[in-house]
């Protein structure tokens, strides 16, 4: 079955960096786009970034542009999110999610990894 | 940038009732790019509806989506106890490429 598992979250000071990973299994990873969506505790969902199936196209929310970088390694079925110059407002639960093959919706999500930016 | 507005923020119903949730876009949205998700406490979102009206795999037929242009609706025909959750609409825009989520509607038991 399709599985996505995020890792790499933790507590980090403002201005520092963190790298999240999203490991995938149960589907042909190299043929699907993957996205990161975050959720502040008790708040709604915010799309962060997405990457096409082959890594040739990358998209970012304005709130993270220039600070976050998405990448993927199709040989390892993994997507990465490099987060630099972190701010307090980046504190959230970060989900990775797979694009559906029949639409641009997100049909499978991981359980999320928590990032806390605090001094 | 398209903004999705879901109102009201909270709806109260009894099991067995019919619930209608609204999602309004700040400008015209292609139906193919509109989706609905359900989120329960402590869980990741779950895709319910894509392309405005197509149920995702395994979603019961009591869930239906409709609408076009700027107004979209998620209807749950007969509420089951497990349907009380938060529902989000989501839209994909291509210029620039980005996803937008509504702020969510919480469906609570009356």
Chain A residues within 8 A of B101 when measuring between CB atoms:
37, 44-47
Average pLDDT over residues A10-32: 97
Q: Looking at the DSSP assignment, which residues form a beta bridge with residue A98?
A: A34, A108
Gap between the Cα atoms of A87 and A14, Å rounded? 5
Gap between the Cα atoms of B90 and B106, Å rounded? 15
Query: B101 and A46: CB-CB below 8 Å?
Result: yes
pLDDT at A95: 98
Q: Tell me the C-alpha to C-alpha distance, in Å, between residue A95 and each of A45, A82, A109, B67, B68.
A: 10, 14, 7, 28, 29
User: For each successive 10 residues of chain B (110 residues), what is the average pLDDT?
Assistant: 91 96 94 94 96 96 96 97 96 82 95
Chain A residues within 8 A of B45 when measuring between CB atoms:
37, 45, 95, 97, 106, 109
pLDDT at A104: 81
**E strands, chain B, in order:** 4-5, 10-13, 19-29, 34-39, 46-50, 54-55, 63-76, 86-94, 97-101, 105-109
pLDDT at A42: 76
Closest residue in chain A to residue B86, using alpha carbons only: A44
Chain-centre distance of CA B63, in angstroms? Answer: 10
Would you put residue B71 in left (φ > 0), alpha (ψ -120 to 50) or beta?
beta
| 8 A C-beta contact, residue A106 and residue A37 | yes
Whether residue A43 has pLDDT greater than 90:
no
Q: Which helix (H) or strand (E) holds A91?
A: none
Average pLDDT over residues A44-69: 95
Q: Looking at the DSSP assignment, which residues form a beta bridge with residue A3?
A: A25
Handedness of CA A17, A23, A24, A30 (dihedral sign): positive
- State how far residue B32 is from chain A, nearest Cα, in angstroms: 7
Query: B46 and A109: CB-CB below 8 Å?
Result: yes
CA atoms within 13 A on the CB side of A88: 2
Q: Which helix (H) or strand (E) holds A83?
A: strand A78-83
Chain B, residues 3-62, CB within 8 A of chain A, namely 32-33, 35, 37, 39, 43-47, 50-51, 54, 56-57
Average pLDDT over residues A48-71: 96
A45-51 and B97-101 beta bridge pairing: unpaired
Work out the pLDDT band at A60, boundaries 50, 70, 90: very high
Query: A50 and B104: CB-CB below 8 Å?
Result: no
The radius of gyration of chain B from alpha carbons, rounded to an integer in Å, stands at 13
pLDDT at B75: 97
Burial class (CB in 10 A: 0-12, 13-18, 19+), B25: buried
């Amino acid at each position: 079955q399709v599985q996505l598992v995020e890792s790499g979250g933790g507590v980090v000071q403002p201005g520092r960096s963190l790298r999240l990973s999203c490991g995938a299994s149960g589907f042909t990873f190299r043929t699907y786009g993957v996205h990161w969506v975050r959720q502040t505790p008790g708040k709604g969902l915010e799309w962060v970034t997405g990457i096409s199936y082959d890594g040739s196209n990358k998209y970012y929310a304005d709130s993270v542009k220039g600070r976050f970088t998405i990448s993927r390694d199709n040989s390892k079925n993994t997507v990465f999110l490099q987060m630099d110059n972190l701010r307090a407002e980046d504190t959230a639960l970060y989900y990775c999610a797979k694009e559906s093959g029949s639409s641009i919706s997100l049909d499978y999500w991981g359980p999320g990894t928590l990032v806390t930016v605090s001094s | 940038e398209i903004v999705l507005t879901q109102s009201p923020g909270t709806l109260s119903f009894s099991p067995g009732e019919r619930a209608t949730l609204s999602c309004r876009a700040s400008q015209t949205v292609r139906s193919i790019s509109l989706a609905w998700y359900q989120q329960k406490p402590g869980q990741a979102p779950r895709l319910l509806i894509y392309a405005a009206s197509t149920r995702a795999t395994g979603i019961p037929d009591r869930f239906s989506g409709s609408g076009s242009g700027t107004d979209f609706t998620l209807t749950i025909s007969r509420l089951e106890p497990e349907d009380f959750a938060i529902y989000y609409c989501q839209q994909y825009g291509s210029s620039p490429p980005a996803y937008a989520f509504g702020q969510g509607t919480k469906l609570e038991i009356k």
